[in-house]
Structure 1
Amino acid sequence: MPACAHCDTHVSEQFARVFADEGGEVHACPTCSANSGIAEVSRERAQEV
């Protein structure tokens, strides 16, 4: 089951398909990021790693 790498909250397979990075890791989810900024936060967090 996919989970957010930042807060470890479960995310759906569909959410992971849309917002995961090339390695399949989800860096932001609706629990730890504003819905309108998930894509931007995901990119920022992925660059920090």
Structure 2
Amino acid sequence: MPTCDHCGSHVSEGFARVFADESGRVFACPNCSANAGIAEVSRNRTRNA
């Protein structure tokens, strides 16, 4: 079951398939980021990880 690495919330398999990095880590989800900015927040958190 995939989870957001930032807040620990469950995310769907489809969400993880779209927004996870090549290692399967999800850095942002609808619970901890604005829906419109998930991809941008995820990129920024990946750079800072």
Q: Same fold (TM over 0.5)?
A: yes
Aligned length: 49
Q: Percent of counterpart pairs with the same letter?
A: 69
Q: Which runs of 5+ in 1 are unaligned?
A: none
* Gapped regions of structure 2 (runs ≥ 5): none
Normalization by structure 2: what TM-score? 0.98
Runs of 4+ in 1 over 4 A off after TM superposition: none
Give the alignment's Cα RMSD to 1 decimal. 0.3
Q: Deviations over 1:3-34 (max 9, x none)?
A: 00000000000000000011110000000000
